[in-house]
Amino acid sequence: MKTKTVISLLVFTALFLWTSCKNEKPRDIVAENFEFAAQQLEYAVLLTEETVNKDTRDSLKKAASPLVSPRTMSNDGSLIMVPARDWTSGFFAGELWYMYEYTKDPKWEELAVRFTSPLESQKLNKGTHDLGFMIFDSFGHGMRLSDKPEYKEINMDAARSLASRYKPNAGIIRSWDHNGQKWDCPVIIDNMMNLELLFWASKESGDTSFYDIAVNHANTTMKNHFREDYGTWHVVDYDTITGEVRNKTTHQGFADESSWTRGEAWALYGYTMTYRETKDEDFLTHARNIVNFIFTHPNLPEDLIPYWDFDAPEIPNEPRDVSAATITASALYELSLYGGEKSAQYKEWADTILKNLTNHYRATLQSDAGFLLLHSTGGKSLNSEIDVPLVYADYYFLEALLRKSKIENNLPLF
Candidates 86, 137, 157, 190; catalytic one: 190
**Residue 322 contacts residue 393 (beta carbons within 8 Å):** yes
Closest to 260 measured CA to CA, from 308, 196, 304: 308
Q: How far apart are the first and last CA of the chain?
A: 66
Q: How far apart are CA 129 and CA 175, in angstroms?
A: 5
Candidates 130, 237, 351, 394; catalytic one: 130
Give the helix/strand (H/E) hosting 186: strand 186-188
Give the helix/strand (H/E) hosting 121: none
Q: How far apart are CA 211 and CA 155, in angstroms?
A: 15
AA letter at 176? W
**Residue 254 contacts residue 381 (beta carbons within 8 Å):** yes
CA distances from 327 to 1, 86, 106, 120, 354 (A): 62, 19, 27, 25, 11
Task: Please give the backbone phi and psi of residue 366, each rounded to the nearest 5 degrees, phi first.
Answer: 60, 30
Q: How far apart are CA 65 and CA 52, in angstroms?
A: 12
Give the helix/strand (H/E) hosting 273: helix 261-278
Burial class (CB in 10 A: 0-12, 13-18, 19+), 302: exposed
SS3 252: coil
SS3 151: helix
**Residue 389 contacts residue 374 (beta carbons within 8 Å):** yes
Whether 130 is catalytic? yes
SS3 279: coil
Sequence-separated (6 or more) residues with CB below 8 Å from residue 82: 67, 68, 69, 70, 71, 88, 89
Q: How many CB atoms lie within 10 A of CB 390?
A: 26
Report the DSSP beta bridge partners of residue 83. Answer: 67
Whether 76 is catalytic? no
Closest to 318 measured CA to CA, from 271, 364, 265, 375: 375
Which residues are designated catalytic?
130, 190
